[in-house]
Structure 1
Amino acid sequence: RAMHVADKNLRLSGASLRTLINTIPDLIWLKDPQGRYLACNTEFERLYGTSEEDILGKDDFTFVSPEKAEFFRHNDQAAAEAGDSRRSEEWVTYASDGHRALLDTRKTPIFDTDGSLIGVLGVGHDITAQRAAEETLRRNTSYQSALLDNFPFLVWLKDTDSRFLAVNRPFAEAAGFTAADDVIGKTDLDIWPGELAEAYRADDRSVMASLQKRSVEEEIVTDSERRWHATYKAPVLDKEGALLGTVGFAMDITPRKTVDLENQHQLAELRRWHEATLGREGRILELKQEINSLLIKHGLTPRYPSAVETPTPVDSQGTAADV
């Protein structure tokens, strides 16, 4: 009776295991050392478009092209020889409906107690949708990089610690790096002179504290040159309003600023010259009037008629009349 109970429990355990394996959406199979199938689950049956009963005892050459079968066989043998799991990506075509899928496949050798190879256990996880999403993301990232890299100004994104999360190529080149990825993770202190870097970080803190945009024109002085930039910074928030960091761009306005400064200098020179000229003319007029006064005092005709002072008219009461 005890043996009967044990046998029943074993059958129940086997049935439970079979139900579990068939419920798993991944492909699961077991092959012997010669590549013949010993077991497979329901999802694997869909791959080859037939029942497990028809699959058992056969190898991959029965179901797929010789090239594909050789590829599968090579991966099986590599796992067996390594004595450890081997991972690979395999494109397959489902015989049940003809659709193609990319499988992330892990093959593991199975040994008995004396170390003899029983076979190779395979698990294939469908990553077709995941890979498509990755490709879409990669393509979109490529588009965004192409867009940002062709902007005629510096663009950057920082986290709340003012570490660079992303920059465009012009920024990387201005910072002395070959590639934009070389800047990721660094701070202004790693790139710019200390005083300049601290000023940039202070601006970041101000923008994050106020959650307000900031736009300034500032002169950037490095060891090699002095450049003017129009700089814009803004806080970056997530959908819930939590602060993620800052975004900014800086446009080189050195040519325009140089012209503006030259115009301001010329205007100042013109104003100074004008004021100096007016002062000189006034002094000359005063001298002419003094000479005329001396000549009149001695009964002589004024030498400078244009500088003769016109007496202020007075009324009959002796007060100055309104002119």
Structure 2
Amino acid sequence: GNIFSLLAEGRMIKEMVAARRKLKESEKKFRALYELSPTSYILSDFETGEILDFNSSFEKTTGYTKEHLGKLKVQDILMTVSKTQLHRIKKEIESTSTFGPEEQEYIKKDGTQFPVLVSGSLVGNKKGRKLLWSTAQDISESKLTEAQLREEKQLLKTLIDNLPLNVFIKDLESRKILVNKAELDYVGLKESDVIGKNDFDFYDKKSAQVSREEDLEVINSRKPMLRKETMSVKKDGTATSFLSSKIPLVGSDNKVKGLIGISLDISDLKRKEDELHDLINVTSIQNKKLVNFAHIVSHNLRSHTANFSMLLDFLVSETDAEEKNRIIKMLMEASDNLLETLENLNEVVAISTNINLDKKPVCLFEKIQNVEKNLTAYLKNHNAVIINDVEEDLEVKAVPAYAESILMNFITNAIKYRNPMRKPVVRLTAEADGDYTVLSIKDNGLGIDLEEHGSKLFGMYKTFHENPDARGIGLYITKNQVEAMNGKITVDSEVGKGTTFKIYFNDKN
């Protein structure tokens, strides 16, 4: 029994020696890690804050050495921490035996400060003392990097906020994750009301759908969309023309994360472009009118001068006194005709060159009544009836003198070219049609063969009936007056039944 007891004791001693050896080896390894670690380790008294030990990293970081042990406290290396923060940390340790990680400011031996990320753990009692192991990682470089990134981000934001362009970044679902000031000003909202929203939240369904399809094309194809003219219509109906570019946003893993959008508001440019096109069109039309007018003047004056020349030749060679008087009478009539032609041409020139027309609200019903009163004898003489079905309070924007002239021309024409088989009736009605008020003047006269005469209906000195009073100038002047007010005329006619003229008064422009 003694032998077995001795053997057991020997085995136990051997195991204890082996365990101590392993413990020493572990302690050596821990000490090596402890000393070589780039993180500062601090052992302190939890109650008093006295620092009992620290590693070489702490020495290098703070400038304190082992000689300061026994005199150095945690409070000496900490920047002033509020009582609330200290109370919170103490409560956390007492509750969980750990605290952190959290940012604090340490003070070096030379008085300089630096930021650290601190965490700690309560490791138990030693001779009646609560010990606290703390780790402190110097985060000066990361804080400096963060500050630089913040500064660069602010510089970038300042740059894009001051660009005269709408700049935005969208994710794969077309939600906006970054917008600049111009984009916010355009949608009229704060950044917090825009981030995370897509185009369907700001624009009408059609505009938003077009934008989404463009986004998907850029994202899926990984190809940019550059300088494309687009139209955005807000939910309030406001339309804006943009010159837009969308570029795929590719991450470091070479996957598309979304897109970058850049838009330039070209609405003013488009308006100026449209105005230029309108001006070119007007100039072209005016040039055509000028050429046509020159041909008409040349033809008419040549006809009058030829007539004068012939009559004067007859007068010079004529010996009979009675015949001379007849030729003189013909010369006087030719002179009157020339004056009438010149007056007509002057009126056409006045209409074509007057660019400062003063359009005013004109009560159409009252204007028709005035024309009817001025034509009382003429209407009575031809047993004509005027039916004024225009609303009494209806107003159109027109040059008052032009409005009266237009009504006078169409009403007198309706009676002049009446059907001899029936009493002339002229009916006037009006209705709204978009930006126009449309006046319809319908008669039951002879009618016009539009297939034959439609293309030259409003030409100067064009007549279509064997009427001795026809001069072929009224419709030409009327059309010029209507077009000078940015209006237009249409006609519908059937031979033997009558004609309807529609005059479009432009109420907007």
When the two structures are superposed, what TM-score results if normalisation uses the length of structure 2? 0.48
Tell me, in whole angstroms, the C-alpha distance in 2 between the residues paired with 1:69 and 1:202.
Answer: 56
Counterpart check, 1:129 vs 2:144:
no
5+ residue gaps, structure 1: 305-323
1:37 to 40, 48, 51: 51
Contact 1:109 1:117 in 2 (8 A): no
Deviation at 1:277, TM superposition (A): 5.5
Tell me, in whole angstroms, the C-alpha distance in 2 between the residues paired with 1:5 and 1:263.
Answer: 100
Q: Which has the higher contact order (CA 8 A, sep 6+)?
A: 1
What is the Cα-based RMSD across aligned positions, in Å?
4.0
* Secondary structure class of the residue paired with 2:164: coil
Match of 1:172 in 2: 184
1:146 to 144, 158, 165: 158
- Aligned-pair identity (%): 21
Tell me, in whole angstroms, the C-alpha distance in 1 between the residues paired with 2:33 and 2:176.
Answer: 48
Match of 2:278 in 1: 265
Which stretch of structure 1 is more off in the superposition, 192-201 or 122-131?
A: 192-201
Tell me, in whole angstroms, the C-alpha distance in 1 between the residues paired with 2:108 and 2:207.
Answer: 61
Match of 2:199 in 1: 188
Tell me, in whole angstroms, the C-alpha distance in 2 between the residues paired with 1:151 and 1:66.
Answer: 43
Aligned residue identity for 1:247: I
2:64 to 41, 45, 49: 49
Deviation at 1:71, TM superposition (A): 11
Q: 1:127 to 1:45 in 2, by over 3 A?
A: same
* Secondary structure class of the residue paired with 1:85: strand
* Secondary structure class of the residue paired with 2:275: helix
Deviation at 1:86, TM superposition (A): 3.5
Q: Cα deviations across residues 95-150 of structure 1 (Å, max 9, x unaligned)?
A: 3x8764310111333456xxx98332211111110000000000011011111111
Contact 1:38 1:57 in 2 (8 A): no
Counterpart check, 1:233 vs 2:212:
no
Tell me, in whole angstroms, the C-alpha distance in 1 between the residues paired with 2:183 and 2:104.
Answer: 41
Counterpart check, 1:24 vs 2:18:
no
Q: 1:23 to 1:75 in 2, by over 3 A?
A: farther
Deviation at 1:285, TM superposition (A): 7.2
Deviation at 1:280, TM superposition (A): 6.3
2:99 to 85, 95, 101: 85
Tell me, in whole angstroms, the C-alpha distance in 2 between the residues paired with 1:237 and 1:105.
Answer: 37
Q: 1:251 to 1:40 in 2, by over 3 A?
A: same
Tell me, in whole angstroms, the C-alpha distance in 2 between the residues paired with 1:37 and 1:107.
Answer: 14
Aligned residue identity for 2:90: Q
* Secondary structure class of the residue paired with 1:230: strand
Match of 1:315 in 2: none
Aligned residues: 294
Q: 1:71 to 1:15 in 2, by over 3 A?
A: farther
Match of 1:309 in 2: none
Deviation at 1:284, TM superposition (A): 7.6
Which runs of structure 2 are paired with 1:276-315 in the superposition (5 Å)? 276=289, 278-279=291-292
Deviation at 1:212, TM superposition (A): 4.0
Aligned residue identity for 1:221: V
Q: 1:76 to 1:117 in 2, by over 3 A?
A: farther
Deviation at 1:276, TM superposition (A): 4.8
Q: Cα deviations across residues 28-73 of structure 1 (Å, max 9, x unaligned)?
A: 122223222343222223335212x752585346x55995899997
Tell me, in whole angstroms, the C-alpha distance in 2 between the residues paired with 1:22 and 1:14.
Answer: 12
Deviation at 1:216, TM superposition (A): 2.4
Contact 1:218 1:231 in 2 (8 A): yes
Tell me, in whole angstroms, the C-alpha distance in 2 between the residues paired with 1:210 and 1:29.
Answer: 54
Aligned residue identity for 1:50: T
Tell me, in whole angstroms, the C-alpha distance in 2 between the residues paired with 1:28 and 1:57.
Answer: 17
Contact 2:199 2:208 in 1 (8 A): yes
Aligned residue identity for 2:65: T
Match of 1:251 in 2: 264
Q: Cα deviations across residues 165-202 of structure 1 (Å, max 9, x unaligned)?
A: 322122123234212x5533333233322211111122
Q: 1:13 to 1:207 in 2, by over 3 A?
A: closer
Contact 1:216 1:230 in 2 (8 A): yes
Structure with the greater alpha carbon radius of gyration: 2
When the two structures are superposed, what TM-score results if normalisation uses the length of structure 1? 0.72
Match of 1:313 in 2: none
Contact 1:60 1:72 in 2 (8 A): no
